[in-house]
């Protein structure tokens, strides 16, 4: 598929498909209207992972609905692996790529340039590489990370009556600020509120084996027994909230645990009193909308979809309303 730019669209790096993709002949696009578009979609984590599984479910539903010729790529949350896989995708000459933005601007910029040179459409999900998009275009589907993290902390202060001097442990993936700004946003709000915060480094690789964080939190809680609240960096880690509490000697509701996303394990932890608040970023949409966006741009020449998926909060009062969807792997 070749692509052209025209008029004011060049200002926004809008890429339009030429006749390599058959033009629709009527308003009904049909069941497989995107079947001529070969696509790679990046789900981020391991194939059996909780968060990545929901992202992949969204992508698979969009692939079914559009008929896109698409393959889902899994990366175990290994950013270097994502870059290697992206290089391979570009080398294979696919028409479109839905890319996790975790590697950041510096790592993605040269590959986005290569993709643009080959006429490959790109869009991004979960983490926004804003510098890459400003230069080479593409949409972003995911939460505004810094805003989401700060909002979670403010909601925790409101709901739980946290006060100046209270202690929090916040797990922050320190090595990549493009990804870490969400959890660091929570730290900033807590400290502005006068709270004391211990930061624990959250290597993204922990999400592939969440049980590895249990001794890390046990040590942090042992060193800071006055801790009132823990902030987890995502559903894969918060899935083991019960194990973290028990390993550190806490029973139900004896320590607050909050974070991001939903899952069957998190719903169970709500029921048992080991999770108390989470910010839902709707990973299903982070799978569905990028596939739809790439298809629309390739076939119809429309602009990329940009969608903030930070929907709001799930807490001990409303979790039952989303439990069935979370248990089904859709929330």
Calculate Rg over the CA atoms of the chain: 21
Q: In this structure, are residues 294 and 39 in contact, taking their beta carbons and an 8 Å threshold?
A: yes
Q: In this structure, are residues 184 and 212 in contact, taking their beta carbons and an 8 Å threshold?
A: no
For residue 178, what pLDDT band results from cuts at 50, 70 and 90? Answer: confident
Residues in CB range of 313: below 8 A, 6 or more apart: 152, 155, 277, 278, 279, 280
What is the fold, at CATH topology level, of the domain defined by 145-280? Rossmann fold (3.40.50)
List C-alpha distances in Å: 199 to 188, 243, 260.
11, 20, 17
Residues facing 38 on adjacent strands: 69
Residue 75: phi, psi to the nearest 5? -130, 5
- The CATH superfamily of 3-143+282-310 is Response regulator (3.40.50.2300)
Summarize the confidence of residues 286-303 as an average pLDDT: 97
What does the pLDDT look like over 37-60, one tens digit per residue?
999 999 999 987 789 999 999 999
Q: Is the pLDDT assigned to residue 274 strictly greater than 50?
A: yes
Q: Is the pLDDT assigned to residue 19 strictly greater than 70?
A: no
Answering whether pTM is above 0.85, one says: yes
Q: Where does 128-264 show beta strands of DSSP type E? A: 140-142, 167-172, 196-201, 227-231, 256-260
Q: What is the residue extent of each domain of the chain?
A: 3-143+282-310, 145-280
Quote the pLDDT of residue 331.
87
Quote the pLDDT of residue 154.
98
d(CA 38, CA 126): 22
What does the pLDDT look like over 96-132, one tens digit per residue?
999 999 999 999 999 999 999 999 999 999 999 999 9
Quote the pLDDT of residue 138.
97
Domain 3-143+282-310 shares a fold with domain 145-280:
yes
């Amino acid at each position: 598929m070749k692509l052209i730019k025209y008029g004011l669209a060049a200002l926004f790096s809008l890429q339009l498909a030429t006749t390599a993709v058959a033009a629709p002949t009527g308003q009904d696009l049909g069941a497989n209207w995107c079947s001529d578009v070969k696509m790679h979609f990046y789900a981020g984590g391991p194939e059996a992972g909780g968060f990545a599984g929901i992202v992949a479910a969204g992508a698979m539903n969009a692939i079914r609905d559009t008929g896109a010729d698409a393959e889902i790529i899994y990366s175990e949350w290994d950013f270097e692996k994502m870059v290697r896989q992206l290089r391979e995708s570009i080398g294979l000459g696919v028409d479109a790529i839905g890319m996790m933005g975790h590697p950041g601007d510096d790592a993605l910029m040269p590959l986005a340039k290569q993709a643009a040179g080959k006429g490959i459409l790109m869009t991004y999900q979960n983490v926004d590489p804003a510098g890459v998009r400003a230069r080479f275009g593409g949409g972003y589907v995911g939460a505004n990370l810094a805003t989401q993290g700060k909002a979670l902390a403010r909601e925790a202060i409101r709901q739980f009556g946290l006060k100046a001097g209270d202690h929090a442990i916040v797990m922050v993936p320190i090595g990549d600020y493009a990804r870490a700004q969400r959890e660091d946003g929570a730290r900033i709000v807590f400290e502005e509120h006068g709270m004391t915060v211990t930061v624990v480094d959250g290597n993204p690789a922990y999400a592939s084996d969440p049980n590895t964080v249990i001794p890390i939190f046990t040590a942090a809680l042992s060193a800071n027994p006055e801790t009132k609240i823990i902030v987890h960096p995502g559903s894969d880690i918060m899935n083991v909230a019960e194990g973290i509490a028990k390993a550190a000697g806490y029973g139900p509701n004896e320590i607050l645990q909050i974070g991001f996303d939903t899952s069957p394990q998190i719903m169970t932890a709500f029921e048992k009193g080991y999770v108390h608040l989470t910010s839902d970023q709707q990973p299903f949409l982070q799978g569905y909308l990028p596939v739809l966006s790439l298809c629309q741009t390739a076939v119809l020449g429309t602009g990329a979809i940009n969608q903030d998926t930070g929907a709001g909060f799930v807490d001990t009062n409303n979790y039952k309303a989303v439990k069935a969807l979370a248990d089904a792997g859709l929330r």
